[in-house]
Chain A
Amino acid sequence: MAIRPSAARTGGSTKRARAAAKLKQQLPMHLMLLPCIVLVAIFSYYPMAGILIAFQNYNPTKGFFHSKFVGLENFDYVYAMPETMQVLWNTIFIALLKIVFGLVVPVVFAILLDMVRRSFVKRSIQTLIYIPHFLSWVILSGILIDILSPTDGIISFMLKGLGIEPVFFLANEKLFPYILVVTDVWKEFGYGTIIYLAAITSINTILYEAAIMDGASRFRQVLHVTIPGIMPIVVLMATLSLGNVLNAGFEQVFNLYSPVVYKTGDILDTFVYRIGLLNSQYGVATAVGLFKSVVSFIFIVTGYKLASKFAGYRIF
């Protein structure tokens, strides 16, 4: 951008001209964003009017602008149900474990996998581990019930081999949440590994070469090059996954739980599903949804602030 002599004389108009030029230069970027903004406005913001249902005794024929407002009654209703607190606790417990292991396992796995030199082995393993992601819980639950069966499941068979009394895993109150966590991590870790592997491969190889020159061992390379290299994406994923603090996995729980493990296995979503199933109370379901959103929002924003304050990471 050449500075024109005429503009140099009058300071005010220069500023304006510079701002205009800057804006003009930025224009393509605003144009890029335009279709995104419009689509999000139509398909995300416009339907958000539906959040009103949370405060209403929703009547479909009246719609959400004319249904009766009931204030916080829907929230009170859920709060007053005797099982709410237990369910909330179960949800958080299961969800937190899933968040932690759902993050650590793929990262560790990606690092280990990256160490494999034979590209064929590396690729094959990578392909195989992401397969479970493609099977729905309806199908997997049937298989898991067989595998975990105390009488003729493979796990019990192995336990017997080791001289341990087989356990009825899916009917065991204490073990059930952990079964959920393990099976969920098992289903999803291969899929999560992909993103970290992509991050690792995009680390500048010069950094590794430099580390090797310094005589760093494999372990030290991981510690000083790989981990710092993928840290931004790990922080990003960790922060975003905080939004799942109330998502304990409806489909999974729904297909694996039973009344004997309600005490530790019943989660917010299955609970609301049962309320909804009995009578389609949309006000209540929306209220719970809103509650989940607000809590997720608080967690994500807090995570975001912490990450930027203490580690200097910016999520967006």
Chain B
Amino acid sequence: MEPKSCSGDGNPSRNLHPSKPLMAANFLRCLSRIQQTATNSSVGSRSRRIRRAAYASMAYSAGHRRAWSWALLRKLRCRRVRPVILPRRPRIARPQVVIEIDRAEVLRKLVPGGTGMDYCRLLEETADYIRCLATQVRLMQTVTDSISS
């Protein structure tokens, strides 16, 4: 696999961005750790940890040149310090009036670090994020398949 292409500049990187070996190694390491340290945890908490491990390894392998990986790492790091408990305001039932869906906003919410980015940059980060996500999904799929087989 070609090395991770860190094109943090404005040029969209057409190379296969994620470095799979690195991601795989990270993820497997995380998995083993989780498995060792939390053998008695519930499935739910373990799955949450695994999910976080997946995102962390993904973000880590992406490096700091991408906005989304950086935002993701920051989020994970802060999350690590203390669990994020956002006070939930009681939701007042309001007539749902959706005049127009701002798709860019929706995308911004999906992609970590999407806020505060102009549209052009957002598209670029989305492409990178999709690449990494797809790689991570494939990696996890492979692992589960190999385990379950």
Whether both chains belong to one complex is answered with no
Q: Which residues of B come within 8 Å of A, CB atoms?
A: none
